[in-house]
Amino acid sequence: MLLEQLWSQNLSETRWDRYVIRVISWTEEAVREALLQRRVAFNLEDYILDVFVPLYDSVSIRAWWVKIKRKKNIFPGYILVNMIVTNESWYIVRNTPNVTGFLWAWNIPVPVKWEELERLKWVVEVKKEEFVLNIMPWDYVSIIKWPFEWNEWKVTEVNESKWIIKVIINFFGRDTSMELDFSCVKVKK
């Protein structure tokens, strides 16, 4: 089920609720696949309706300005399940490999409130695409564009919100601070 469909459905028209399940970190996608397979194997399609891992796109900029796109989990160790809780569906979900349990109160699974889902929707929209550049202050970078491309320069400041770094270059025998765009440099390892 797509993310937009998750919020477009009206809660008052349905008998099911959304629940948060704790899983072992970095196994969220495997647990999702296992739950979808188990619901078919145990004939619970009417009770376990969907399994959702909230993800966002992250783009890392590596040396030589190579962009690497990855999906990152917003809540590592947690997934959302749309389901009707019965003894059988609850047992199947709890005993899926890498599932540590439901978020609950007094041994009863607690459904996620609509307001919390709206906040999750906002987080997913804000983090549509996150860029990460592995440049830290005092790293050495090489400028790709002329006329300063022949040497390594020390980074003094990184401003990720504006995609600008400051480097100190030696210009006519004098250290000078220069602002550069992330696309103008490559990191020296």
CA distance 32 to 98: 10
Residue 35's pLDDT band, with cuts at 50, 70 and 90, is very high
Pick the CATH number of 135-187 from 2.20.25.190, 3.30.420.40, 3.30.230.70, 2.30.30.30: 2.30.30.30
**Are 3-132 and 135-187 the same fold in CATH?**
no
pLDDT digits (tens, 9 = 90+) for 108-120: 788 988 888 887 7
CA distance 35 to 38: 5
What share of the chain in percent tops pLDDT 90?
29
Question: What pLDDT does residue 148 have?
Answer: 64
Centroid of chain to Cα 1: 18
Average pLDDT over residues 35-40: 96
Residues ≥6 apart with Cβ < 8 Å to 108: none
Inform me whether the pLDDT recorded for 159 exceeds 80.
yes
Q: How high does pLDDT run on average in the chain?
A: 79
Residue 171 CB coordination number (10 Å): 10
Looking up tokens 């990184």 gives: 158
pLDDT digits (tens, 9 = 90+) for 90-139: 999 999 999 999 987 677 788 988 888 887 777 766 665 555 667 788 88
Question: What pLDDT does residue 88 have?
Answer: 93
Judged by average pLDDT, the poorest of 1-5, 33-37, 107-111 is 1-5
Cis link prior to 147 (omega < 30° from 0)? yes
Six-digit token pair at 121?
Answer: 């929707």
Give kind and range of the element (H or E) at residue 37: helix 28-41
Give me the residue spans of the domains in the chain. Answer: 3-132, 135-187
Query: How are beta strands 17-23 and 140-143 bridged, if at all?
Result: unpaired
Q: What 3-state DSSP class applies to 126? A: helix
Pick the CATH number of 3-132 from 3.40.50.2000, 3.50.50.60, 3.40.50.720, 3.30.70.940: 3.30.70.940
Q: What is the pTM of this model?
A: 0.61
Inform me whether the pLDDT recorded for 6 exceeds 60.
no
Six-digit token pair at 189?
Answer: 């390892």
Question: What pLDDT does residue 57 have?
Answer: 76
Residues in the chain: 189
